[in-house]
Amino acid sequence: MENSLASELARVQTMVRELEANMDRQDLLPPAAREICDELASRVDRSLRMARSWLPESPGSADGSPLGHDTAGTGNAVKDAHFKRRQARLYNLVKGVPSVRKQVRVTSVQDTAPMEDGFSWRKYGQKDILGAKYPRAYFRCTHRNTQSCHATKQVQRVDGDPLLFDVVYHGTHTCVQAANGRVDQLQQQPGHAAGQEQSSQLVLESGGLHAGFEPMSPLHFTSTPAGTDLGGGYPPLFSPTSLEWQVRSSHAAAGFGDGGMDVEHQYEELFSYPPESFQWEFQDLYAANYN
C-alpha cells in the first residue's frame, strides 16, 4: 500500500521534472509557471519522503534508495550486490577522512552543474558506474599540488531524476581559498570555529536553502566550464540559476560510515540523533526541508 504510494509519488515527481525540463527547453516556461513547477516538485518530493518514512526498511529498493538508484526492472541480484557494495564504499571510503554527501537539484536540465561551492575544483577523472545511468565525475582541489590541499569531490547525476546530482565531498580543504572566504562565513555561524571540518559546509551551502521556490544567489561553476558533460546526453554544464539543496548527508567522520548500517538508516540516524556538534545544523536543515 505505502509502497505503491511511494511509487506513484516517484512517478509524479519524475513527470513534473520532465514537464518542466521539456517546457524549459522550448522556452515555454514563464517565471510564474516555473515557480509552480518548483513548488509542485518540492511538495511531491516531501510527500514522497513522508511515504518512504512509513515503509519498512528496504535498502537499495527502487524508490527507497537515497541515491535514487533505480534497480527496478533489473532484477539482477548480482548488480544489486554490486550496488550495495558501491554504497558501502561510498559511505566508508577512507576511514577518518570526513565525507559529506549532498544532493543538489537544479531547476532545468540546462542548469546541470553541481553548484559552485566556493572552491575551485579540477576534474581528474570520470567513470561509468555499474548500475548507474550516468557516469561519476571526480574532482580534486585545484590547489592540490601548490598547497597540498587534498579535498576531493565526486559528482553524479541521479538515475531517474536528471535534475538531481549526488555530490560527495572527501577530505578537508587546507588551501588559502578555504582560509579566506569559507572560514569567514563559518565564523559568522554560532558555535563554529575557523577551520572546522567539512561538515561545516553543510551549513554554508544550505544557508540559502529554501523549499525550492526562490532562486538562490547567483552561482557560477568555476571547475566545470562549458563543454564538461557528466554524461547522459545532456547539455554542457553551465551556471545554474536556481538550485535546491536536498541535504541528505552522511558524515563518515562522525561514525556513521561504519558498522554496517544501511544507508537509509544512516540518514534517519543522522537526522534523528545527529552528533552533538552537528545538531544545530540539522535542526536548521530539517526545518528548511520539512517545514
Q: Binding residue for DNA (CB under 7 A) from 16, 44, 90, 149?
A: 90
Q: Is 154 in the site for DNA (CB under 7 A)?
A: yes
In 3D space, the residue among 199, 193, 17 whose CA is nearest the CA of residue 105 turns out to be 17
Residue 143 or 192 having the CB closest to DNA: 143
Place of cell 518548483: 38
CB of 236 to DNA, least distance (A): 8
How many positions of this chain bind DNA (CB under 7 A)?
34
Q: Binding residue for DNA (CB under 7 A) from 225, 232, 235, 255?
A: 225
CB of 132 to DNA, least distance (A): 7
Q: Is 93 in the site for DNA (CB under 7 A)?
A: yes
CB of 81 to DNA, least distance (A): 9
Of residues 157 through 186, those in contact with DNA by CB under 7 A are 170
Q: Binding residue for DNA (CB under 7 A) from 47, 120, 174, 277?
A: 120
Q: Is 226 in the site for DNA (CB under 7 A)?
A: yes
Q: Binding residue for DNA (CB under 7 A) from 39, 197, 229, 268?
A: 229
Q: Is 129 in the site for DNA (CB under 7 A)?
A: yes
**Which spans of this chain sit near DNA (rule: CB under 7 A)?**
82, 85-86, 89-90, 93, 120-132, 136-138, 140, 142, 152, 154, 170, 223-229
